[in-house]
Chains A and B, each alone.
Chain A
Amino acid sequence: MNTIIEKFTQALLEVDRISTQKIMDDHVNQIAPVKFIEKIVVPSLEHIGEGWKDGNYALSQVYMSARICENLIDEILPPGDPDRKNQPKIAICVLCDHHKLGKIIVYSLLRSSGFDVMDFGVVTVDELVDRVKEEEIKILMISVLMYPSALKIRSVRKQLTRDNVDVKIIVGGAPFRFDEELWKQIGADAVGRTATEVISLVEKLTGDL
């Protein structure tokens, strides 16, 4: 299995869609799609995500890998498939800026890992609070690029607490990579410093809920 993970990882790093497709086609005949995701896709994406954190791989490789896997997984496990995870309602958004890359990567990785995720797109504080209440979201992921946007998460938390909304907030984005204390200051429940860290956090929180 390790050799397959290595081959799949290498193909992802080289943005080689044909090889990734071939590896998947060769294996989903032998193991269930959900096992292919757990045993091959997730470890490969985790390796690439960790490599980015350590400076060994680049964000473009994280992004392209996530998109390739998302497309592959949609083939074998379409949205709403009963084999997808039994989970609380999860949503993701970009708060108050138009830099969507981080959100797209996390969204793709979560879907590649078998989660269904609602994408709220780019939202203001008030819009986000309303959507969380309407949709009864239990895990909310907020991505930001700009420091002032990170500070606005404090208002999201304050309004949701005021309205007795029970939701876990996971934050991510550049400001949190440059200040390790910031996520606590703005009232988040957790921070994902890489997209793959977010998957582990969501796994843990879905287990707790």
Chain B
Amino acid sequence: MNDTRMTSLQRVLTTLGHQEPDRVPLFLLLTMHGAKELGLSIKDYFSSSRNLVEGQLRLRAKYRHDCIYNFYYAPLEVEAWGGEVIYSDDGPPNSGEPLIKKFEDIKALKIPEIGRTSVLEKVLESAQALKQQVGDEAPIIGVVMSPFSLPVMQMGFDKYLQLMYENQSLFYRLMDLNTEFCVNWANAQLAAGATAICYFDPVSSTTIIPRQMYLKTGFNIARQTIAQINGPTATHMASGRCLPMVDDISKTGTTMVGVSGIEDLQALKTACRNKLTLLGNLNGIEMCRWGIKETEQQVKQAISQAASGGGFILCDNHGEIPWQVSEDVLMTISDNVRKWGRYPLN
């Protein structure tokens, strides 16, 4: 079951063009599993770009998936803004106490300078090193938090929702700062070697805000931001729903959308066909307790629901596979994409 006809990048580009490649592309968005490969704690692993490069290369050699994921952890950008990161032995680093404690703090915020912020430099170093190693054989995925979703970690979800509803002036001031940073940060990663940018925007999901609110806020912010990013983007809802807003998302200029395991993949495929490539939607939380049979069935089902005609990359639904997901499950996903995902599909 070797893939000989296309490189990973060719496979991904073909599906992005809504054509069928040799088989369904697979993105295993693994972050912490690199630490397991190197026998390091999660904290030690993320302390050095060299660890991440080695971890990503080993993971790809092992599971034969179709991308390199140059993503460390979600609160990395907040760390660059001066926020706190809390490490865990068995999960992703998490954001600590918010750096914006009251609305007025927004007025004093300063945008991090990318060249002078060590945590961001580390990401650029690994993007460069990965590009040297991988070249154009596989896409290297860089990551940004959308300007509209970053405030959840900058100020806490509750305060951010209050800001959105009750203080438009400071809300837009924060959006201006975050947009400038997001564009700079995305373009720096592309210049360093990333092939595409994953634009995490869960707050835009209809799980979090009503579509009418999205059209007034997250939609315009995404359209303005994505227009300034010098490369392709994938908008990721990080498990949030997006079916009612697929047409809106396609108008933001993005090429892909990361979708939730709690939405109907077939309905999403119908809505996205020839407009957006679907990235999803294996349930990362349930995956922690899947056995081999269940894994095969889930892979088979996702492929049958969404892979016809291209425009589909098999992936988890959150953009970060939990630490607790076993090697056996990951290997089974990889094997079964090769078994059931060959085009033309049966």
B contacts, CB < 8 Å to A: 86, 88, 90-92, 94-98, 156-158, 161-162, 164-165, 206-210, 213, 239, 241, 243-244, 261-262, 283-286, 288-289, 322-324
| A10 → chain B closest CB, angstroms | 13
Q: Are A178 and B284 in contact (CB under 8 A)?
A: yes
| A15 interfacial contact with B, CB 8 Å | yes
| A155 → chain B closest CB, angstroms | 12
Q: Are B324 and A147 in contact (CB under 8 A)?
A: yes
Q: Which DSSP category, helix, strand, loop or mixed, fits chain B's interface?
A: loop
| A58 interfacial contact with B, CB 8 Å | yes
Q: Are A59 and B165 in contact (CB under 8 A)?
A: no
User: Which residue in B94, B98, B285, B323 is a CB contact (below 8 Å) of A179?
Assistant: B285
Q: Are A58 and B207 in contact (CB under 8 A)?
A: yes
Q: Are A146 and B94 in contact (CB under 8 A)?
A: yes
Q: Are B208 and A59 in contact (CB under 8 A)?
A: yes
User: Which residue in B88, B94, B208, B284 is a CB contact (below 8 Å) of A98?
Assistant: B94
Chain A residues with Cβ under 8 A from B284's Cβ?
178
Q: With A and B bound together, what is the CA distance between A57 and B286 in angstroms?
A: 25
| A82 interfacial contact with B, CB 8 Å | no
Q: With A and B bound together, what is the CA distance between A96 and B165 in angstroms?
A: 29
Chain A residues with Cβ under 8 A from B285's Cβ?
147, 175, 178-179, 182
- Nearest residue (CB) in B for A149 is B91
Q: Are B262 and A100 in contact (CB under 8 A)?
A: no
CB-CB nearest 10 A-B residue pairs: A148-B91, A178-B285, A101-B157, A179-B285, A58-B210, A60-B209, A148-B90, A58-B209, A59-B208, A179-B286
| A54 → chain B closest CB, angstroms | 10
Q: Are B165 and A15 in contact (CB under 8 A)?
A: yes
| A5 interfacial contact with B, CB 8 Å | no
Instruction: Determine which residue in A98, A99, A151 has the highest number of CB atoms from chain B within 10 A of its CB, and name it.
Output: A98
A contacts, CB < 8 Å to B: 15, 52, 55, 57-61, 63-64, 67, 97-101, 104, 146-149, 151, 174-175, 177-179, 181-182, 185
- Nearest residue (CB) in A for B75 is A98
Q: Apart from A58-B210, A101-B161, what are 20 other A-B pairs with CB-CB below 8 Å?
A: A57-B210, A58-B206, A60-B161, A60-B209, A60-B213, A64-B161, A98-B94, A101-B156, A146-B91, A147-B91, A147-B322, A148-B88, A151-B90, A175-B285, A177-B262, A178-B261, A178-B286, A179-B283, A179-B288, A179-B289
Chain B residues with Cβ under 8 A from A52's Cβ?
207
User: Which residue in A58, A148, A178 is a CB contact (below 8 Å) of B208?
Assistant: A58
User: Which residue in B96, B156, B162, B289 is a CB contact (below 8 Å) of A181?
Assistant: B289
| A168 → chain B closest CB, angstroms | 24
Q: With A and B bound together, what is the CA distance between A15 and B92 in angstroms?
A: 34
Chain B residues with Cβ under 8 A from A185's Cβ?
289
